[in-house]
Amino acid sequence: MAVSSLIGPLEEISFYGHPIAYLAPSVYGHPQALTLHFQHYSEKMTIALAVDPNVIPDPHQLCDDLQESLKLIKDAVLKEELIKDVV
């Protein structure tokens, strides 16, 4: 498995006058069965996922599970911040 985390530009950028909505880095030809790229760009987080279908037969389920896990993490952080604000 390979996981990368690269900070992107803090402000929106353009390419030949065309605004870039998001950045999604990736790699090709690597031997890993699972690659996750987390890219922060202009106050947004993009997650690019690459899988080997011979190892991970249902990548859509993996995406659903990742989405649910990130939601649980976000809810836990927000709950902790709420508790700190009350105390």
- The first and second tokens of residue 2, run together, are 């390979």
pTM metric for this prediction: 0.65
Give the N- to C-terminal CA distance of the chain in Å, as an integer: 41
- What digits encode the pLDDT tens for the residues 17-73? 998 887 676 777 778 888 887 777 777 778 888 888 899 999 999 999 999 999 999
Distance CA 37, CA 32 (A): 13
Q: Where are the alpha helices (DSSP H) in 6-86?
A: 59-86
Q: Distance from CA of residue 1 to its chain's centroid?
A: 15
